[in-house]
Structure 1
Amino acid sequence: MHDIDPAEIIIGIDTHKEAHAAVAINGLGARLDAMTVPVSLRGYQELETWARSFGRVRAFGIEGTGSYGAGLSRFLQERGHGVIEVNRPNRQIRHQHGKTDPLDAENAARSVLSGQARAAPKSGTSSVEMIRHLKVARDTAVKSRTQAMVTLKTIIINAPIALRESLEGLTGTMTLIRHLAALRPGTMRSPTASAKAALRALARRWLMLDAEIKSHDAALDALTTACAPALKEAHGMATGTAAEMLILVGDNPERIRSEAAFAKLCGACPIPASSGKTSRHRLNRGGHRQANAALYRVVISRMRSHSPTRDYVRKRMAEGKGKMEIIRCLKRFVAREIFGYLCRTSRPATTISSTS
């Protein structure tokens, strides 16, 4: 960190499910003390009091601000402390110096002191956190619904011939599902009865999950429209894409300072790969893969039905560019556009109350 006072304190924290390890260092890098606190409100208060006892706290460097450290990060931010998100230590460093929770906490503090760790964590206190919760529930429901359908079709293929032939005339997914949900297996005395029982259970599970997904979709559509109405109106930006991008940006979009940083988060920026006399770039295989996939879906949609995009594709193909290179360029354009919608304009926020 630049211009740090030697008397200022930096706290590094290694987070776990049941306990957090913390180490305090001063502005000169000298280790002052270490402690471990339980993951609870009382533990968070004890940690803050302990940190203040050394002097003015410049920042808290926390590993796992989006998982085990989420509660502590929110607690400290609500009390006006600066919180820095710290990545896991380099494996080579761990191999050379060993691993303990206090060592990891000290490494976190030194990452903040050196300026290597500078990213602000997501606040997780407003509308986007609500969207994230609902999208997690929706995504798992979609996977379970797909699994139920695959299993159901497998049982039909292996069912007794009479039962299988009775189902062959049913066309359409909903027609088949409703028919199977209404089956009456009877007494379990034959493979036909057991197959009917299994098919009925799977069909009813599919219907339940389908209703759950529709409920989540309605809630997500309302939340994303309220958070980013301009983004939702853009060509090819469906509810799923808007939700994914809002989750990526978080409730505090000011932490992403440029469209280049946003493109890097999405994995939509080229990486230098030059050596000697060779000057070239390669695709970025990092970044948020779900956000990258969302960019790809928007680009494919626009290549099919968006006139300016279609004109651009024809122009670049006439220049000899390949399809994948054109898609890469378009993904960067879309990332720049989304950054403008989400990070250059203020969004209405719906704060999550502590009692909700």
Structure 2
Amino acid sequence: MSYTESEAYQREIAEQYKERNLELEPVEVKGILSQLGIEVDEADIHVAEAGNMNATFIAGDYVVKVSDKKDLVSYGANDIVSEQLVDEKAIKVVEYDVREKTGYEVLVMERAPGTMWLPVMPEMSEEENKRLFAEVLQVVTATKGMKATDKFGWVNDIIVNPEKDGFDTHQEQLEARLSSYLRKIEAQADLDQEAVSRLASYVRERLDLFSEDIPSFVHTDLHMGNIMQQDGELTAVIDWDSAQSAPMYRGMVSLIGLIDNPAQFVEGTPNYSAYKGKKFEYLYPLLRQAYTEELTDPKLAEKLNVMGIIDGLMWVADDWSKEWSKEMIANLVTKELAANGDMSQTYYGQVLEKMKKT
């Protein structure tokens, strides 16, 4: 059994969520909302059942996100979605304040009807899940027409500092991400630095794959916890905090994760046991249809492979769990360093082959 599957890891991640999250009492949230001209009874304010990475609250008819991170923007991408996807089942922003009225970054949204897909997906029928997933992909397709910037990067970062955090090419953005993560990993003396160096060299040798990519507005964290539904019908795609200005195929990463390894999105939560070992491979044909154009790229598996390594190093750099980080580095070296461009044994090489056959 891997460390990721152990109870010790689940406890460790749950504690990390608690430590990294801003904690506010209902009376404090009520005060913040009052400063924005929104009055909600304190008794109607409670912590959202999801939102592990944010201080997220249900406040009557609203969902409220609050960040105390100075000099950062965490929620700006949501405001762009609300303005540009008005005809789609996405979030509807009521108020957005960046430390002007409240001293916090505060995002207030209309509360979408229903519940998250997350707690009910394992019990829903194949046809019900297919129908809902198809609706989600309609929203994904609609983002192809969005334009937040001509640069590449995290949308929220570009909002704050387009010169520093907006890149002319996807290749430049990935190089900057890699360099940033490597600096943080170098400070973690108990990790296998030689293995990390091998991974970095492998990635850098392939970054020219990304030189001609075209940016789109991409939801990069689209999983069952960020999908609202009611009676099996989509009511909203939520949580665009991690949106990137990136090639459209970047959005495939989290959607493949939703299908092939959904448990990764609920680590450290009570829902983990319901998803452990589950796959929803019957959704692959719908994903294939939504990304028909992207799947014609003969280098797609190689691109996803490289981005997957960078994403893995991102989590290692963030230092959530020492044991998990060691396991991640070992897995990346043994499974993802493709010899002579042969993607057949890499994760995304196998997934794309499976997608073709499903």
Normalized against structure 1, the TM-score is what?
0.26
The structure showing larger relative contact order (alpha-carbon pairs under 8 Å, at least 6 residues apart) is 2
